[in-house]
């Protein structure tokens, strides 16, 4: 009998209730930093953090991009979530404008995750919660 997959279940939170995930990143000094990030399936960016967090977590620099929030500085981030089947580098961006927008709903939010990251897991929700879990192994 197989072990059930790890599921992270989060109740919506914020002034305008938002779905979110709790993720763990490796900082440049090797320490782990855990952040609550709004889940935004409409975002083409894997991760967008505030500039301070991006500087602490950047494992390497990458090209930035322009968005409706202005310029997003680019960097490679190390995401370490083995319970979700993720232990990889992912392109991330930094924007204090995005940080300010998500913090309008809750001061707990440190940024957002978009579709490139969400496609690495299974995700879903109902009227009260949003969940992410490790995808099943493909035979």
Tens-digit pLDDT profile for residues 62-112: 999 999 999 999 999 999 999 998 999 999 999 999 999 999 999 999 999
In a domain, 5, yes or no: no
How many Cβ atoms from other residues are within 10 Å of residue 69's Cβ? 15
- The C-alpha atoms of residue 107 and residue 93 are separated, in whole angstroms, by 19
Q: What angle do CA 37, 78, 107 make, to 5 degrees?
A: 20
In a domain, 10, yes or no: no
CATH number where 54 lies: 2.40.70.10
| Chain segment 19-46, per-residue pLDDT in tens | 999 999 999 999 999 999 999 999 999 9
In a domain, 91, yes or no: yes
Phi, psi of 120 (to 5 degrees): -80, -15
- The C-alpha atoms of residue 82 and residue 17 are separated, in whole angstroms, by 28
Residue 139 confidence (pLDDT): 59
- The C-alpha atoms of residue 37 and residue 20 are separated, in whole angstroms, by 5
β partners of residue 37: 21
Contact of 18 with 4, CB cutoff 8 Å:
no
In a domain, 102, yes or no: yes
- Count of structural domains, the chain: 1
Range of the domain at 86: 22-133
Contact of 99 with 37, CB cutoff 8 Å:
no
In a domain, 4, yes or no: no
**Structure pTM?**
0.92
Distance of CA 68 to the CA centre of its chain: 19
In a domain, 107, yes or no: yes
């Amino acid at each position: 009998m197989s072990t059930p997959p790890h599921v992270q279940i989060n109740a919506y939170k914020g002034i305008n209730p938002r779905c979110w995930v709790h993720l763990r990143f490796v900082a440049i000094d090797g320490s782990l930093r855990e952040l609550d990030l709004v889940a935004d399936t409409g975002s083409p960016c894997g991760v967008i953090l505030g500039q301070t967090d991006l500087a602490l977590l950047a494992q390497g620099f990458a090209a930035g991009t322009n968005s409706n929030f202005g310029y997003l500085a680019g960097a490679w981030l190390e995401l370490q979530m083995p319970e979700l089947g993720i232990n990889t580098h992912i392109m991330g961006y930094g924007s204090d404008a995005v940080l300010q927008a998500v913090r309008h709903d809750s001061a707990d939010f440190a940024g957002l995750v978009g579709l490139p990251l969400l496609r690495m897991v299974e995700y879903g929700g109902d009227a009260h919660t949003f969940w992410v879990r490790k995808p099943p192994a493909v035979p």
